[in-house]
Amino acid sequence: MQRLKIVIIVSLIAASVGFIGFGDTSASENNGAAKIIISRDAEPSMTAVNFNQMGVMTASWYGPRFHGKTTANGEQYNQMALTAAHKYLPFGTILQVTNLKNGKSVVVRINDRGPYIDGRDLDLSKGTALALGMIGRGVIRVKVAEIALDTEIKPIGTLN
């Protein structure tokens, strides 16, 4: 069960970073996100995931007015992607964000700066807000953990 959980988390992280596919794909299908190619001949491997607790934060969401514009890291903003803005976390930081009211949780990637309203710590994309069930509320308290991958990759049969 633990192995399955790790595989699912790593898959979610990889999906939020870019496109996972077999063989070559067109950059136009990828909207400028980093491309991850997995060979059919690649040996399966797993990486341990660490959850570094960051505490409780105040989160808001942004979307329609910024959709298609350039984010602070240079990529095109997609309001339905699972992304977030933070004032100083490095671009590419992966966070698990959990709505304290309903327990819904989602994995996001930092790709923008903000929020620019005092008292708010994270600006979430509309897609993230939908996944967390916060569209109607607008601003909520969330539990945040950074997801960090161990640098050592091990073949699947070696994790215990």
CATH of the domain at 60: 2.40.40.10
Tens of pLDDT, residue by residue over 95-146, are 999 999 999 999 999 999 999 999 999 999 999 999 999 998 889 999 999 9
Lowest mean pLDDT among 32-41, 49-58, 119-128: 32-41
Whether residue 113 sits in one domain with residue 87: yes
Same domain, yes or no, for 25 and 72? no
Residues 120 and 67 in one domain: yes
Average pLDDT for the chain? 80
Domains held by the chain: number: 2
Structural domain including 69 reads 49-148
Which phi and psi angles does 60 have, rounded to 5°?
A: -120, 180
Identify whether residues 115 and 71 lie together within a single domain: yes
Residues 34 and 83 occupy one common structural domain? no
**DSSP assignment of 69-128, as one string?**
SBPTTSSBP-TTSSEEEESSSPTT-EEEEEETTT--EEEEEEEE----STT--EEEEHHH
Greater confidence (4 vs 45) lies with 45
What is the H or E stretch that residue 53 is in?
strand 49-62
- Whether 25 and 103 map to the same domain: the answer is no
| 90 and 38 part of one domain | no
Q: 55 and 134 share a domain?
A: yes
